[in-house]
């Protein structure tokens, strides 16, 4: 029952942020809109760049824009209200808000591939934005957190001889921080069959025509906690203990798995926090300070 709420709570865009007001766009940052980082199947995949108006620190942060695996205007409003761009730009970060696509067209694996292309684009254009491509951070929330983690634990190396300049870059990042991410579709807070309700996230045409074994294999393949094969970069997860949509168990499992792989992972549990909570902008500030410690040069 808890998992079923994803389709209703997130698809309907019920995100009760009540943090910072919209409209600070011309004070803390300037914004470049709708930059095409890839043309795929005749469709332009886009990103926006938020540049600090003062105090740049030479660092880039990727913000994965996705809610319920949709990357649309509603998700952007949520990030604006949460103060994501105000906060990170005030810390000096150049923020690259990448839209990995929506589940109406792409599966989870395809959205991850799109996000990796976006990371490569940022690295290719690092000189243009005066950032260090070797000290990138990445963040996301909910579905955006899921795609972020799956991207981080399945990095791809660059190919110096590739004809496409983007493919010459790897997809590694220096640090990752996310809010309330789905991480294991095979065990959703004790529900062993929750994956059956997100068929279009696994296969383009849903689950029809696929065996139970095929479905479970795909659910495992897109579960970040089940794909940690090597030590990932330092990780921070923030999750509310009253989340009605994504069980806190999902974040605890991810942190435990990363630690077992020899990595550094920290979980901050927001007492009474839902999905999200009204003062989440305070935790966005906490996240920015965490990135400061992991990304700034010693």
CA 79 to chain centre: 12
Q: How many separate domains does the chain show?
A: 1
* CATH number where 63 lies: 3.40.50.1820
Q: What's 273's DSSP letter?
A: -
b/e burial code for range 2-16 (CB count within 10 A of at least 16 → b): ebeebeebbeeeebe
| pLDDT for 41 | 87
Of the candidates 248, 172, 185, 261, the one whose C-alpha atom is nearest the C-alpha of residue 222 is: 185
- Domain span at residue 82 reads 5-295
pLDDT at residue number 129: 98
Q: How far apart are CA 97 and CA 86, in angstroms?
A: 13
DSSP 8: I
Exposure of 294 by Cβ count < 10 A (0-12 exposed, 13-18 middle, 19+ buried)?
Answer: middle
Rounded distance between C-alpha atoms, residue 243 and residue 25, angstroms: 30
Per-residue pLDDT, 262: 97
The whole-angstrom separation of Cα 298 and Cα 294 is 9
Residues of the chain with pLDDT under 50: 1-19, 22-25
pLDDT the model gives residue 91 = 98
User: What 3-state DSSP class applies to 128?
Assistant: coil
Please tell me whether the overall predicted TM-score, pTM, comes out greater than 0.85 for this model: yes
What pLDDT was estimated at residue 19?
47
What local confidence, expressed as pLDDT, does residue 195 receive? 79
The pLDDT of residue 203: 95
d(CA 179, CA 198): 20
Q: Which two tokens stand for residue 292?
A: 């400061």
Separation CA 260–CA 228 (nearest Å)? 10
Q: How far apart are CA 34 and CA 183, in angstroms?
A: 29
């Amino acid at each position: 029952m808890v998992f079923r709420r994803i389709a209703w709570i997130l698809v309907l865009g019920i995100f009760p942020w009540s943090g910072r007001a919209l409209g600070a766009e011309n004070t803390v940052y300037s914004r470049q809109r709708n930059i095409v980082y890839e043309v795929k199947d005749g469709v332009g995949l886009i990103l926006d760049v938020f540049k600090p108006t003062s105090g740049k620190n030479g660092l880039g942060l990727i913000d994965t824009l996705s809610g319920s695996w949709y990357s649309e205007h509603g998700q952007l409003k949520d990030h604006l209200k949460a103060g994501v761009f105000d906060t990170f730009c005030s810390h000096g970060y150049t923020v690259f808000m990448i839209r990995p696509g929506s589940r109406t067209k792409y599966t989870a694996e395809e959205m991850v591939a799109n996000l990796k292309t976006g990371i490569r684009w940022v690295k290719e254009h690092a000189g243009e934005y005066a950032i260090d491509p070797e000290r990138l951070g990445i963040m996301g929330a909910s579905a955006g957190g899921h795609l972020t983690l799956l991207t981080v634990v399945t990095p791809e190396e660059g190919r110096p001889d590739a004809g496409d300049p983007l493919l010459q870059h790897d997809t590694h990042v220096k640090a990752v921080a996310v809010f309330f991410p789905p991480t294991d579709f095979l065990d959703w807070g004790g529900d062993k069959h929750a994956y059956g309700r997100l068929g279009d996230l696994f296969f383009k045409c849903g689950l029809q025509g696929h065996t139970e074994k095929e479905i479970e294999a795909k659910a495992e393949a897109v579960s970040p906690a089940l794909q940690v094969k090597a030590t990932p970069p330092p990780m921070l997860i923030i999750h509310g203990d009253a989340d009605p949509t994504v069980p806190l168990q999902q974040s605890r499992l991810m942190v435990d798995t990363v630690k077992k792989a020899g990595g550094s992972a920290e979980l901050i549990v927001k007492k009474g926090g839902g999905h999200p909570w009204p003062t989440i902008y305070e935790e966005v500030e906490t996240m920015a300070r965490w990135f400061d410690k992991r990304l700034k040069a010693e």
